[in-house]
Amino acid sequence: MANREELLIIRAARSGKPVAQLALGKRYLFGGSGLPQSHATALHWLEKAAENNQPDAWMLIGAHVPFEVAQQSDHPLRVAFWYERAFDGGIPKAGLVLAMLVFACWNQADHSLRQKAMRALRAAAEAGLSDAQWLLAQRLGIGGAVATSVANASPATSGVQVDAAIEWATRAAKGGVVEAQRALADYAWATNDHLKFLFWALPLAQEIDRRCAEHPGRKTNRLSYELDLLGRCAQALLATSDPNSRLIEKYLRTAAEGGHSAAQLSYGLWIARMDKSGARIPAIPGVAHYKKAIRWLSMAAEQGEAHAWYAMSRIFLKPEFSRRSVEEARRYLELAATGGHVRAQVELGIVAWRNRRLDPRADIKAVYWLLKAAGQGDKEAKKLLDKILPPIRKAEWAHTAKAIFTRDMANQYPFLAARVELGYWFGLTRAEALLIDIQSADHGHCLEIDIRHEHPRSRRRLIPVLTGEQRQALDRAARIFDTVDGSPVGAEGNYRQRLYRFRSLMSGRREAARISA
């Protein structure tokens, strides 16, 4: 409760006396014998005193009223004026709050105020304020530089502004700003600078580990970033010349127990003493425990880590594993390939291609997996596809026929028009186009051309479906032949009848064109 002296100050302040307003604002700012500390109330009375030309009022505002309180004002830019005066009076902290207020109301601020805010922020950063250094790094684009490096897995484009942003972020990180330390750690990780990453990330990881030790029941409730940081620290430590195996295993286990899929994968590989390709890692001491590794790898695989399925396929092929099984290895390899693992897709493609003599249709499966891998840029898959699939040659007859066919002709002879279109897009011979069975030939990823039962001199071949136009042509043909028997005993007749109809139609159109000419 306010004492007699404070009541007198309150009455005088309410009556508009500047000295009393300054005194009351100071009481609320630091707390008096009978008045509680309240920065919001202090700002109210100090503003009143500042409006009555009391220099100490705006100096106190700039030095002691934080941004969070100033931001709650009904007119933040009006409050920013007092921070501007305090900054001009030599208080660097006021420059930081001024910049934060202007940035929060950027669209309402005029050009001169924006420029003043940037100058004030730079001055506060040069004065050694860590928060100002971090804010300046953000304004210079440290977030964009980190995001670009993470997305491209390579350093961001070098430039004066990017270099300055990294420099100010480094100063802020050394001053204890955790967000700056995280940003620099992410940047170092994206650029594969493991030593610099450990320099910034290890203190953060040690703090996370300390909190986990203090609250063991909360291990599974760690933030995703914290779990990811622990996993990255373990991988970076493993890449050093003298890895700390105890610390690596501890970080991996903590992150894996928290449910982080990448950490579960790394921990499973650590227990198996192997890398993602299945090769032994000499730097990891001790004996491999494959059964325990499979448990963690299974957990990672269930969260979408295709590398985990592939690693399990390697484990089940190891001679020293008591549960060695070629069937299980093949099953996990297929799961990895389905999940998008490039090496698994290539291996399945190679296996299927080698089995083509035992299974005449195995090459269809080989093409499927190799196309998947080639779509992700695998050079080995592209090389094998070039060997399996000959290039599509232009079908001159189909180009000529497609130019002759009109819409009326296509409506009158829909089956023939569909076959001509397939010959045009897939480079089919005339016999292939007239005899192909659309329903059985379309395998989604490729077209199987096999007319040997009607045309013995032909050869079976596969043609990949690579473009949207090819897919659309196949879908249109499938709709046309959906309810029609396309065999030689169907509505179209046998090969001789189809060929006769085609020749007659083409010769008739040429004769009509000659007469009209």
Q: Which two tokens stand for residue 409?
A: 């002709």
CB 439 within 8 Å of CB 486: yes
Low-confidence ranges of the chain (pLDDT < 50): 156-157, 219-220, 517
Q: How far apart are CA 332 and CA 297, in angstroms?
A: 11
360-375 residue pLDDT tens:
889 999 999 999 999 9
Planar angle of CA 399, 400, 404, nearest 5 degrees:
115
Q: In 3D, which of 284, 328, 333, 325 has the Cα closest to residue 308?
A: 333
Phi, psi of 229 (to 5 degrees): -65, -40
d(CA 91, CA 63): 7
DSSP string, 99-125: HHHHHHTTTTS-HHHHHHHHHHHHHHH
Ramachandran assignment for 141, one of left (phi > 0), alpha (psi -120 to 50 degrees), beta (any other): left
CA–CA gap between residue 155 and residue 189 (Å, rounded):
10
Q: How many whole angstroms separate alpha carbon 274 and alpha carbon 287? A: 11
pLDDT at 514: 55
A 10 A CB-CB count for 87 gives: 27
CB 332 within 8 A of CB 308: no
For the chain, domains (ranges, CATH) are: 4-143 (1.25.40.10), 348-388 (no CATH), 396-516 (no CATH)
- C-alpha to C-alpha distances, 172 to 198, 205, 261, nearest whole angstrom: 17, 19, 32
- The closest alpha carbon to 183, from 135, 227, 216, belongs to 135
Give dist(CA 510, CA 494) in Å, integer: 25
The percent of residues in the chain predicted with pLDDT above 70, rounded, is 93
Predicted pLDDT of residue 340: 95
Q: What is the DSSP string of 443-457?
A: -SSEEEE--TTT-TT
Q: With CA atoms as reference, report the closest residue to 40 among 6, 74, 9.
A: 74
Where helices occur in 215-341 by DSSP H, the ranges are 224-239, 245-257, 261-272, 290-302, 306-315, 326-338
> Could you tell me the end-to-end alpha-carbon distance of the chain, in angstroms, rounded to an integer?
111
Q: What is the reported pLDDT for 439?
A: 87
User: Which is nearest to 65 in space by CA: 47, 89, 90?
Assistant: 47
Predicted local distance difference test score (pLDDT) of residue 210: 85
CB contact at 8 A, 36 and 60: no
Q: Give residue-wise pLDDT tens across range 13-40.
A: 899 899 999 998 888 888 866 788 899 9
| pLDDT tens column, 73-94 | 888 888 999 999 999 999 999 9
Q: What is the pTM of this model?
A: 0.74
For residue 467, what are its two tokens? 């473009």
Sign (positive or negative) of CA dihedral 53, 54, 56, 58 = negative
